[in-house]
Amino acid sequence: MAQVRNEELVEKAVITTNDIAASGKLNPAQADKFIDYVVDITGLKNQARVVRFRNESLDIDKIGIGKRAAMPATEAVAPGTRRSINTSKITLTPKEIIVPFEISDNFREINLEGDSVEDHIIKMMATQLANDLELLYISGDTLGQASLENDVLDGGSLTQYVKDAYLALADGWLKLARGANVFDNLGGNIGSSLFSRMINVMPAKFKRDRGQLRFFSSIELEQLMREKVSTRATQTGDAALQNAAPLSPFGVPLMPFPLFPFKPRVVEHVVLTGTTPTALLHAPIAGNPVVVLPTIDSSNAVTPFISGTDYFLDQANGTLARVGGAITSGATVKVTYDANPQIILTHQNNFIVGIGRDIRIEKDRDIYKRVNQYAITCKVAVQFEELTAIVLGKNLGTGV
């Protein structure tokens, strides 16, 4: 079947001013094309299983055989037991997302594209929504990492921090993978030993069809591996240097996600008692900024605690201790920091993305401000189909 270019998908997504329905709700065909667009324009294409739904939640049934099914047979004697199947389900609970924006009459009049600029801006917003969704799928954390207010709000504070409410909508794949099989590379750089050990950590039943396995990483981490391979005086080394074909350590393709972070931003809530150091999830801590805040649950900007006055951070050992100051003994604090690079090994399409078909692209008019107002709304969910088929490699070095 012929490939459809992204540019064509934008046109087929029917996100133009003339085609927006009076109710704003896309019809099923329009919704499917819009979903195709927001998936295909990102790194999710052919790597994630996309589930389309209309209900407020969606259950995906799983079926399997957890234990050995075979048993010794005795002639003329019926087996005393019967084997059974295991059934379970995963539930996708969608979160609603909105992209609000305005286009002023003055801007439409003075720009080079004229009235067609509105269609162009709507398509740009749809593209940005696709990127934002990929970021949520990978890096979401319901604890809500601390972000400078200015990074999430135009004109916000350059010194105070807020809870990132968008990334707090759902736990993304990097956080979910912490509950799977974890391999600590102890600061070692990316290389053949890392891939070999991660494959060994994967449960045997998921390695039967190695052709379905994939390593997923950041673009920067994949580039470090490509650089390492390119130094070899072999045909493989030349290929790594001169073309963009996927690297396949031990026959498993290494797939970089564009928005997979090189140094993932991690958020934790930890209790600080007395002056006893508390271990964080990752050691060493990759770098700055490390932000320690009260456990804020709103988007109100707050001033961070002060290193050396309120707490002591041992970045090499990955521990945090209370000094005193504004942190009382027994207090829970929110710690946001960069971890060393991570990589995921799993089956292709084990990543699940749920996108609701009830997508709206609505338009209104503010006659006093002389602007056209738009809102794109959708519901999304993120999950793994089989958590035990995941290996998370953590604490990778940043060299070759």
Return the domain boundaries, the chain. Answer: 1-61+86-261+348-400, 265-338
**Distances from the Cα of 285 to the Cα of 144, 172, 279, 313, 330, angstroms:** 19, 21, 11, 10, 23
**What pLDDT does residue 3 have?**
41
pLDDT band at 25 (very low <50, low <70, confident <90, very high): confident
**What pLDDT does residue 230 have?**
87
* Residue 344 near residue 195 (C-beta atoms within 8 A): no
**Distances from the Cα of 266 to the Cα of 134, 211, 282, 287, angstroms:** 17, 32, 9, 12
Q: What is the pLDDT of residues 53-97, one digit of tens each?
A: 876 667 776 655 455 667 677 777 777 776 655 556 778 888 999
> What is the percent of the chain where pLDDT is above 90?
44
C-alpha–C-alpha distance, residues 104 and 372, integer Å: 6
C-alpha–C-alpha distance, residues 80 and 164, integer Å: 58
**Is the model's pLDDT at 36 over the cut of 50?**
yes
Q: Which helix (H) or strand (E) holds 11?
A: helix 6-12
Query: How many CB atoms lie under 10 A from the CB of residue 97?
Result: 16
C-alpha–C-alpha distance, residues 323 and 325, integer Å: 7
The answer for residues whose C-beta is within 8 angstroms of residue 172's C-beta and 6 or more apart is 136, 137, 138, 139, 140, 141, 382
Averaged pLDDT for residues 182-190: 94
The answer for residues whose C-beta is within 8 angstroms of residue 20's C-beta and 6 or more apart is 361, 362, 363
pLDDT band at 23 (very low <50, low <70, confident <90, very high): low
C-alpha–C-alpha distance, residues 251 and 64, integer Å: 27
Query: How many CB atoms lie under 10 A from the CB of residue 151?
Result: 11
| Average per-residue pLDDT for the chain | 84
Query: How many CB atoms lie under 10 A from the CB of residue 256?
Result: 19
| 126 or 7, higher pLDDT | 126
Query: How many CB atoms lie under 10 A from the CB of residue 319?
Result: 17
Closest CA to 363 of 352, 374, 355, 371: 374
C-alpha–C-alpha distance, residues 334 and 332, integer Å: 7
* Residue 213 near residue 347 (C-beta atoms within 8 A): yes
Q: Please, which residues bridge with residue 268 across strands?
A: 335
pLDDT band at 192 (very low <50, low <70, confident <90, very high): very high
pLDDT band at 269 (very low <50, low <70, confident <90, very high): very high
Q: What is the pLDDT of residues 233-266, one digit of tens each?
A: 677 766 777 777 889 999 999 999 889 999 999 9
**Is the model's pLDDT at 196 over the cut of 70?**
yes
* Residue 357 near residue 103 (C-beta atoms within 8 A): no
Closest CA to 305 of 284, 289, 318: 289
Residue 169 burial (CB < 10 Å; 0-12/13-18/19+)? buried
Architecture of domain 1-61+86-261+348-400: Alpha-Beta Complex (3.90)
Backbone angles phi, psi at 98, to 5 degrees: -130, 140
**Is the model's pLDDT at 9 over the cut of 60?**
no
**What pLDDT does residue 12 have?**
44
What length is written for the chain?
A: 400
**What pLDDT does residue 71 have?**
67
* Residue 158 near residue 304 (C-beta atoms within 8 A): no
Q: What is the pLDDT of residues 330-374, one digit of tens each?
A: 999 999 999 999 999 999 889 998 888 788 888 888 898 888 888
**Is the model's pLDDT at 139 over the cut of 50?**
yes
Helix spans in 192-345 (H): 192-201, 219-230, 235-242
**Is the model's pLDDT at 274 over the cut of 90?**
yes
C-alpha–C-alpha distance, residues 78 and 185, integer Å: 51
Structure token pair of residue 44: 């999710």
Query: How many CB atoms lie under 10 A from the CB of residue 130?
Result: 19
Q: Is the dihedral of CA 340, 152, 172, 222 positive or negative?
A: negative
pTM of the model: 0.84
**What pLDDT does residue 69 have?**
67
pLDDT band at 10 (very low <50, low <70, confident <90, very high): very low
